Structure 1
């Protein structure tokens, strides 16, 4: 009896052990599919430098029984959503492109809840899209030029009366080659308006089509031309702004209130300027650099870097650079507009030229190595008289024809001008003109040589000295300053 019970117990235990082992062998360990990540090549292509909010999409596969997270890193771009959870079959990464052109990338690593990972890299070509806009007709409706494009002037492009052209900071405008009637220029007609507001870090550049300067150069703070020397001129026209402010002009019949601006054929009625509105507003020009212009439209008739004809005091013009213009740097024809913070460098004729009884003020400026007169200050051409002020200037007169040239009927108050690089034959002319006054004019020469640089008796306001009243620090954004010529 006892033996039978023992046998039964052993058999029962064996059955239990066998059954347990058989049940364990029926449940194999779980096997999960490893995650997979691939970059969508259709989206990871060309992005313009500086672009924000661009995206690249990765295709992702994760086992349906698991969860996963991702981590994205950028090379040459800044990723906005660097980490997150994987939901669905794609992960979209948002990024801002860098400030320079070239290859960049976004790398995505996906990690599932079992700790398995997969990664892929999307290659992004920044700046490969060269966006140019060719302009061949006048601007007849309100228009904005944006900094992500380069605008090519295919001729004389006019902002027509009643129309506003807005130009974003950092925008580049290039003029095609052309002379005579085909000379390229941007002309703002009477009644038109230009709102061109650059900044010290993103100036607006007007230059030649031959200039290889790009948006990447501007973004990197390199404002010099990468391929044109700073004395190459006459490759296109220039910028011309016309208004309804008073001028002093005449013809064979007597005084006239409007005339055609020089540099524009008389066949173009948009070239007329002058009127009776002293407070006329032609817009805003700030942090503008105009280079390599001055194309000849006829015998001895070139376009200035910046031409201001009958421009009124409601117009704001400040922080202007003119480089390598074949004709004058800036020329005023009447008007009342004030201009400040100016550099004129390497122009082929006069640095500062005034005509037709301009009655505004030029303040805080530099004129550097011009070929003609440093100042050509002409008097009124009609019966209307007027006087302007030129003050706080630094002038490097090396290579110029003379220092200050006026007419007998010129009206100008010259104040706090400092001349360096004065050559043996360079002079201040017509110091006896009754409406021309001198105050704080200093020539960096020996006192014994001062009289040789004045055509006539030395006025009390002209001395030998070394006082510079111009604040050149505000011009540090210019090509002239970056090249070391404002010292």
Structure 2
């Protein structure tokens, strides 16, 4: 593609161009004073090739980039003088991808921190609708006004509904922009954000990391999958209800948080990624429905539930270097169902648990939990879940920790069974089921427990006897026990495990 002359581009877009500098929104009449900052364009291919080798040596690079474009801008004071003079800077614009309507953000400056004495002016150019402050009456964020650029906290007041139309992009001021204070969307009334498969709604940072990654090509990848920007606070529902369907929510501290005694949260068919926490639900009597979403690349917990009634179903959850895929905490007798999810961890990074039940008793059924995890399912602190029909694999001993398929801690009493539905399959783990010291009686029936390195079932302390009858242990001879079944070729069991009778063939899925 041939590069486009920037001066011509500015004149074409003047009617809907907004220029911002240090947090102040400037009018178009202020444009002439910025002329000294207009850049000279250099051949696209050469610019990428020359700059990439230099960029790879820097410590940090941040940018606001066109959401539907491919744009690279460099400050002359942060480029080695052997590549450019003090008054020149390279810009790459591929004409086909330059956003020529209101569906994208055109941004023309980098913030660069490296071994150079001067930072770039933290200004940016964009067009769209600036948002901030209170919303005190029912409001629609229409596609015609997109993108909405949030430069200060947006607060939807009680008994007020904010509706976001399909295809709208909402971009939140990057943490390092202007004041250094993170912004977010707080809803004390109602949020309705229902996109479509063809026109999803996007809530994101002002810095488009993936587009930047694609622009840099193979020369440099400053934003790897191990990078969690957490540039903005996220979408927070503190009022009556929030519904998000066919949405993309990314790069916030917590992408979606709902908190309130009777709050209702519904998240369907959406993509959440690249944050510390994905969805946090904290409620006494409220309800959450989280279904058919893709939730990935989290540095802490993908979905955490604390109280209320919840259904988590049909989601694909991928964790990288975090604590847990799903954590249920203190449901207090309320019904929580975790069914039909795929929970996996990216190899090479330690993630502690696929699921963690803490002071809670959810029904966990039909999930695929695919390591490497520290533990596939952890049950602690008085929890009594029903664990049915799950497949738990590759929770094997690793470099950093000891791994188990299902861990039962002190004072917990789960039921692991599959009498009427498909039993659990626990395989390729260091230990299949581990019952800790002080653990309450377990019922482990009609499961496939095989191919685990150390123990199929281990009962630490022997304060009680575990009911582990009618399981398939990987061989018709049954589980191995040095005195009770020394000829068993299946997974080993410890003392205080009642494993007879055993199944002579696997439980059918």
Partner of 2:371: 421
The alpha-carbon deviation at position 135 of structure 1 amounts to: 1.7
Question: Which runs of 5 or more structure 1 residues have no equivalent in the other structure?
Answer: 1-43, 50-99, 103-124, 218-225, 245-281, 295-303, 467-487
Q: What CA deviation, in whole Å up to 9, does each residue of 1:351-383 have, x standing for no partner?
A: 22111x221211110110241112222114xxx
Query: CA 1:132–1:352 in 2, change beyond 3 Å: closer, same or farther?
Result: same
Q: 1:171, CA displacement in angstroms?
A: 0.8
Within 5 Å, which residues of 2 pair with 1:63-462?
Answer: 127=100, 131-148=127-144, 149-178=146-175, 182-189=181-188, 192-211=189-208, 230=225, 231-243=227-239, 282-294=241-253, 304-310=254-260, 316-326=266-276, 328-334=277-283, 335-355=286-306, 357-370=307-320, 371-380=322-331, 385-398=333-346, 399-407=350-358, 409-423=359-373, 425-430=374-379, 433-445=382-394, 449-450=428-429, 452-456=431-435, 459-460=444-445
Deviation at 1:422, TM superposition (A): 2.7
| Structure ID, larger Rg | 1
Contact 2:171 2:203 in 1 (8 A): yes
Deviations 1:370-408 (A, max 9, x none): 41112222114xxx532311111011123411222222x
Partner of 1:178, secondary structure, is coil
1:446-472: CA deviation from partner (whole Å, max 9, x where unpaired): 966446154426844765699xxxxxx
Deviation at 1:433, TM superposition (A): 4.4
1:182 Cα deviation after fit: 3.1
Asked whether the equivalents of residues 290 and 323 of structure 1 are also in contact (C-alpha less than 8 Å), the reply is yes
Instruction: Report how far residue 421 of structure 1 moved.
Output: 2.9
Distance in 2, matches of 1:293 and 1:101, equals: 22
TM-score by structure 2 length? 0.50
Conserved 8 A contact 1:374-1:401: no
Change (3 A) 1:169 1:401: same
- Find the residue that maps to 2:246 and give its secondary structure: strand
CA deviations over 1:258-309 (Å, ceiling 9, x no partner): xxxxxxxxxxxxxxxxxxxxxxxx2531111111111xxxxxxxxx211122
Tell me the secondary structure at the aligned position of residue 389 of structure 2.
strand
**Structure 1: distance between partners of 2:128 and 2:194:** 20
Contact 1:451 1:458 in 2 (8 A): no
Number of equivalenced pairs: 288
Q: What is the CA-CA distance between 1:228 and the residue it aligns to?
A: 5.7
Name the CA distance, whole Å, in 2 between partners of 1:434 and 1:126: 53
Q: Does the CA contact (< 8 Å) of 1:208 and 1:236 recur in 2?
A: yes
SS of corresponding position for 2:334: coil
Offset of residue 238 of structure 1: 0.7
Q: Deviation at 1:331? A: 1.3
Aligned CA RMSD, in angstroms, stands at: 3.8
Report if aligned partners of 2:428, 2:450 keep a CA contact under 8 Å in 1.
no
Question: What is the CA deviation profile of residues 307-332 of structure 1, one whole-angstrom value per residue up to 9, with x for unaligned ones?
Answer: 12238586543112211102x21111
Q: 1 or 2 for the larger relative contact order (CA 8 Å, sep ≥6)?
A: 1
Task: Find the aligned partners of 1:313 and 1:136 in 2 and give their Cα distance.
Answer: 24
Question: Partners in 2 of 1:283 and 1:229 — Cα distance?
Answer: 31
Deviations 1:187-234, CA, capped at 9 Å, x for gaps: 111xx11121111111111111111789xx9xxxxxxxx996554321
Q: CA deviation at 1:46?
A: 5.9
In the superposition, relative to structure 1, how do residues 47 and 444 fare at CA in structure 2: closer, same or farther (>3 Å)? farther
- Matched-pair contact (CA < 8 Å) for 2:184–2:234: yes
Determine the C-alpha separation between the residues in 2 that align with 1:448 and 1:401: 17
Q: CA deviation at 1:128?
A: 5.4
Q: Give the 3 Å change call, closer, same or farther, for CA 164–462 of structure 1 in structure 2.
A: farther
Distance (Å, rounded) in 2 between the aligned partners of 1:213 and 1:448? 36
